């Protein structure tokens, strides 16, 4: 008879193959694990020799994470995907994996702000040179390349000023120089832009946004081509990178409804953007699907749709107090960061991310258009604009 304390340790494992054990839920279960058990010594030994193809430890992730990663690989049309704890970590880890001391990194001027901070505070400290190129770049990327350039990081469109890059033109030049290209594809999602069809090597998502879709998940993903696999896989192993398993579950679930949610975000945002263009206080609406957008033709050529976040620039006579009245006057828009969720959100400020942007120093308002009825949203913006 074993002691209760031993019994309690071994309780709960049925070990049988009854119907209960073979319960197949339509969605994968969530595993909570640090330790993963091997069947026998042979498996343990194989794991020690790097010859075991199963999960060896919690940092390998779990079947839930693999299911999400497989879905991302299929949707993106890449070779291999890995989930990361956030979109930012997906970007910064990728940069660490593909750059070395002495390399030069080119970053899109409209890049998600914290990436700049990472480049300045960490990459440069480790001897990587970083410079920025205009967010509407095309074949003129050539002008920014140096003999040390190893990677070009694109973000198309940028998530504040919404410039579009001519990705095929950039990729063509990059390939001539043997330079890798990576893109932050969050705005378009795998449904509206297909980086690998344009020859991009690495596609990155903040899954936090549209893919999860409910503002309750932080997650990132990176998908790479076969040619980049070994280097990327080495990075993942070195960092023992893994993602929260519940987030992977929710992201996989989010993927199932992505298309219908995006259709609604797209049509409401476009309707609101077109209407804002007619408003007296608005100087310019920055939305790639508007014919007035400077890179609209490229968006039309390369994208399969538009998501639901865009900005507008106020006429110069409006000051900070006016912007505050507008933001505080909105009833249906939450004031908060991030986007891609069901609820409409607003952020605003004097644009200062890049002094080579033509919007530098201008008061801008960014709307994440959620899933509310668009007529209600329009009415809300109208009454808030009246407070200007
Ligand atoms: C374009 C873009 N990329 C990446 C990120 C970072 O994603 P996360 O919030 O998942 O770290 C954000 C966040 O706002 C973003 O807007």
pLDDT digits (tens, 9 = 90+) for 20-76: 666 788 999 999 999 999 999 999 999 999 999 999 999 999 999 999 999 999 999
Q: How far apart are CA 375 and CA 100, in angstroms?
A: 52
Measured CA to CA, the distance from residue 194 to residue 28 in angstroms comes to: 27
Alpha carbons 210 and 314: distance in angstroms, whole number: 27
CA 127–ligand 1 middle distance (angstroms): 25
Per-residue pLDDT at 15 = 61
| Band (316; pLDDT cuts 50, 70, 90) | very high
pLDDT, tens only, 322-334: 999 999 999 999 9
Give distance in angstroms: CA of 222 to centre of ligand 1.
13
Q: Cis ω on the peptide bond leading into residue 360 (within 30° of 0)?
A: no
Q: Which of 85, 209, 212, 308 to mutate to test the pocket of ligand 1 (most atoms within 8 A of CB)?
A: 209
Strands 309-314 and 334-335, by their bridges, are unpaired
Cα(206) to centroid of ligand 1, in Å? 5
Q: Is pLDDT above 70 for 145?
A: yes
Q: Ligand 1 test: best mutation among 164, 184, 185, 208, most atoms within 8 Å of CB?
A: 208
Ligand 1-lining residues (CB < 6 angstroms) = 86-88, 112, 155, 159, 184, 186, 206, 208, 218, 220, 338
Model confidence over 247-266: pLDDT tens digits? 999 999 999 999 999 999 99
Residues whose CB is less than 8 angstroms from the CB of residue 15 and which lie 6 or more positions away in sequence, other chains included: none
Which atom of ligand 1 lies closest to the CA of 339?
14
Angle between helices 258-276 and 245-256 (to 10 degrees): 70
3-class DSSP assignment, residue 388: coil
Which atom of ligand 1 is the closest one to the Cα of 111? 1
Query: Which residue minimizes the CA distance to atom 9 of ligand 1?
Result: 87
Residue by residue, DSSP assigns 201-255 as SEEEEETTTTTT-SS----EEEEE-HHHHHHHHHHHHHHT----HHHHHHHHHHH
Ordered domains of the chain (ranges, CATH): 41-256 (3.40.640.10), 258-386 (3.90.1150.10)
Q: Which atom of ligand 1 is nearest to the CA of 88?
A: 11
Distance in Å, CA 88 to ligand 1 centroid: 6
- Ligand 1 centroid–CA 151 distance in Å is 20
Q: How far is the CA of 118 from the centre of ligand 1 (A)?
A: 13
Q: Which atom of ligand 1 is nearest to the CA of 218?
A: 10
CA of 87 relative to ligand 1 center, distance in Å: 5
Closest CA to 182 of 146, 211, 225: 225
Name the β-bridge partners of 284. 313
Alpha helices in 77-166 (DSSP H): 87-98, 113-118
Q: What is the pLDDT of residue 168?
A: 98
Choose which residue among 86, 88, 110, 117 to substitute to test ligand 1 binding: the one with the highest number of ligand atoms within 8 A of its C-beta: 88
Largest CA distance in the chain: 85
Residue 317 to residue 326: CA distance in whole angstroms = 14
| Residues 12/13/18/22 CA torsion (nearest 10 deg) | 100
Cα(207) to centroid of ligand 1, in Å?
8
- Say whether 121 sits in a helix, a strand or coil: helix
**CA nearest 200: which of 145, 159, 164, 154?**
154
The answer to whether 249 and 64 have CB atoms below 8 angstroms apart is: yes
Give CA–CA dist 258/252, Å, rounded: 10
Beta strands in the chain (DSSP E): 80-84, 104-108, 129-133, 149-155, 180-184, 202-206, 220-224, 282-286, 309-314, 334-335, 345-350, 363-368
- From CA 113, how far away is CA 155, in angstroms rounded? 11
Pocket test for ligand 1, best of 86, 92, 110, 186 (most atoms within 8 A of CB): 186
The secondary structure of the chain in percent helix, strand, coil, rounded to multiples of 5, reads 40, 15, 45
CB atoms under 10 Å from CB of 229, counted, come to 13
pLDDT for the residue 11: 82
Which numbered atom of ligand 1 lies nearest the CA of 159? 1
DSSP character at residue 284: E
Residue 186 CA: nearest ligand 1 atom is 1
Q: What is the SS3 assignment for 286?
A: strand
- Which is it for the CA torsion 362, 121, 167, 305, positive or negative? negative
Question: What is this structure's pTM?
Answer: 0.96
Nearest residue (by CA) to ligand 1, atom 10, is 87
pLDDT tens for 359-385 read 888 999 999 999 999 999 999 999 999
Quick check: 336 pLDDT over 90? yes
Task: Copy the structure tokens of residue 82.
Answer: 């890995």
pLDDT, residue 19, reads 66
3-state DSSP assignment of residue 42: helix
């Amino acid at each position: 008879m074993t002691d209760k304390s031993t019994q309690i340790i071994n309780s709960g494992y049925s070990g049988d193959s009854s119907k209960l054990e073979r319960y197949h839920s339509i969605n994968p279960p969530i595993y909570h694990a640090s330790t993963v058990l091997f069947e026998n010594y042979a498996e343990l030994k194989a794991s020690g020799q790097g010859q075991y193809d199963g999960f060896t430890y919690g940092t390998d992730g779990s079947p839930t994470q693999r299911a999400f990663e497989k879905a991302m690989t299929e949707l993106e049309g890449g070779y291999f995907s890995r989930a990361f704890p956030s979109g930012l970590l997906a970007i910064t880890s990728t940069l660490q994996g593909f750059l070395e001391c002495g390399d030069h990194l080119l970053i899109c001027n409209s890049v998600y702000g914290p990436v700049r901070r990472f480049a300045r505070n960490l990459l440069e400290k480790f001897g990587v040179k970083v410079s920025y190129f205009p967010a509407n770049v095309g074949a003129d990327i050539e002008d920014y390349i140096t003999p040390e350039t190893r990677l070009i990081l694109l973000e198309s469109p940028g998530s504040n000023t919404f410039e579009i890059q001519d990705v095929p033109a950039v990729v063509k030049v990059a390939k001539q120089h043997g330079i890798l290209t990576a893109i932050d594809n969050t705005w378009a999602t795998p449904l509206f832009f297909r980086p690998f069809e344009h020859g991009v090597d690495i596609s990155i998502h903040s899954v936090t946004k549209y893919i999860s879709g409910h503002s309750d998940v932080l997650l990132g993903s990176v998908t790479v081509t076969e040619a980049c696999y070994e280097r990327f896989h080495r990075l993942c192993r070195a960092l023992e990178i893994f993602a929260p398993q519940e987030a992977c579950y929710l992201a996989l679930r989010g993927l199932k409804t992505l298309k219908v949610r995006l259709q609604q975000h797209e049509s409401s945002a476009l309707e609101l953007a077109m209407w804002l263009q007619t408003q007296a206080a608005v100087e310019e609406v920055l939305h790639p699907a508007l014919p007035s957008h400077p890179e609209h033709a490229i968006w039309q050529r390369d994208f399969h749709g538009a998501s639901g976040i865009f900005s507008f620039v106020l006429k110069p006579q409006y000051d900070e107090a006016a912007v505050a009245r507008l933001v505080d006057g909105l009833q249906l828009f939450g004031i908060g960061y991030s986007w891609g969720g069901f609820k409409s959100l607003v952020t605003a400020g004097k644009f200062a991310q890049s002094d080579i942007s033509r919007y530098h120093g201008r008061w801008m308002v960014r709307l994440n258009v959620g899933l509310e009825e668009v007529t209600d949203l329009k009415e809300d913006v109208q009454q808030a604009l009246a407070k200007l």
